[in-house]
Amino acid sequence: MDYKVIFSGLVVGALAVTLTALGNPPNMGYCIACFLRDIAGSLGLHRAAAVQYIRPEITGLGIGAFLISLKNREFRARGGANPLMRFVLGFAIMVGALAFLGCPLRLVLRLGGGDINAITGLIGFIAGIWVGIIAIKGGFNPGRAQSQSKGTGYIYPIFLVAIFVALMVRPDFLFFSEAGPGSMTAPILAALAAGLAIGIMAQRSRLCMVGGIRDIILIRDPHLLWGFVAIFAVTLGGNLILGEFNLGFSDQIAHSAHLWNFLGMVVVGFGAILAGGCPLRQLVMAGEGDTDATVTVIGMIVGAAFVHNFGLAGVPGVGLPSAGQIAVVLCLAALAFIGFGHRFGAKSSSALKEVA
Amino acid sequence: MQKLDVCGLSCPMPVIKVKEAIDAGKLPIQVTVDAGAPVDNISRLAENQGFSVTKSPVEPGIWLLEIE
Give pLDDT tens digits for B26-68: 889 999 999 999 999 999 999 999 999 999 999 999 999 999 9
- Measured in degrees and rounded to the nearest 5, phi and psi for residue A321 equal -60, 155
Amino acid in the structure at residue A270:
F
**Closest residue by Cα to residue A79 from B9, B63, B12, B64:** B9
State yes or no: pLDDT of A349 exceeds 60.
no
A318-338: pLDDT as tens digits: 999 999 999 999 999 999 999
Q: Average model confidence (pLDDT) for chain A? A: 94
Q: Using a CB-CB distance cutoff of 8 angstroms, which residues of chain A are in contact with residue B11?
A: 208, 211, 276-277
Contact A206, A228 (CB under 8 A): no
Band of pLDDT at residue A2, cut at 50, 70 and 90 = confident
Task: Report angle CA A222, A28, A189 to the nearest 5 degrees.
Answer: 105
Tell me the per-residue pLDDT of A80-94, one tens digit each, with 9 for 90 and over: 999 999 999 999 999
Whether the per-residue pLDDT at A348 is higher than 80: the answer is no
A355/B44 CB distance under 8 A: no
ipTM of the complex: 0.94
Work out the pLDDT band at B1, boundaries 50, 70, 90: confident
- Spatial separation of the C-alpha atoms in residues B16 and A225, rounded to whole Å: 18
For residues A270-296, give the mean pLDDT. 97
Residue A354 clears pLDDT 50, i.e. is over it:
no
| CB contact set of A52 (below 8 Å; sequence gap of 6+) | A38, A41, A42, A175, A176, A177, A182
Contacts of B4 in chain A (CB under 8 A): 351-353
What pLDDT score does A314 carry?
A: 97
pLDDT-derived band at A342 (thresholds 50, 70, 90) equals: confident
Q: How far apart are CA A321 and CA A313, in angstroms?
A: 7
Please give the backbone phi and psi of residue A319, each rounded to the nearest 5 degrees, phi first.
150, -155
Do A105 and A36 contact (CB within 8 A), yes or no? no
A219:B2 CB<8 A: no
Please write the tens of the pLDDT for every residue from A126-183.
999 999 999 999 999 999 999 999 999 999 999 999 999 999 999 999 999 999 999 9
| Distance to chain B for A321, nearest Cα, Å | 34
Helix (H, G, I), strand (E, B) or coil at B62: strand
Residue A355's pLDDT is: 37
Q: E strand or H helix at A154, and its extent?
A: helix A150-169
Is the pLDDT score of A26 beyond 50? yes
Instruction: Provide mean pLDDT across the span A31-38.
Output: 97
Name chain A contacts of B48, Cβ cutoff 8 Å: 221
Handedness of CA A95, A99, A101, A105 (dihedral sign): negative
* For A224, nearest residue in chain B (alpha carbons): B41
CA distance A184 to A155: 29
Q: What is the pLDDT of residues A201-258, one digit of tens each?
A: 999 999 999 999 999 999 889 999 999 999 999 999 999 999 989 999 988 889 999 9
Angle at A134 between CA A36 and CA A131, to 5 degrees: 45
State the pLDDT at residue A1: 64
pLDDT-derived band at A343 (thresholds 50, 70, 90) equals low
Q: Are A86 and A291 in contact (CB under 8 A)?
A: no
Q: What percent of chain A has pLDDT over 70?
A: 96
Q: What is the pTM of this model?
A: 0.95
Å between B11 CA and nearest CA of chain A: 5
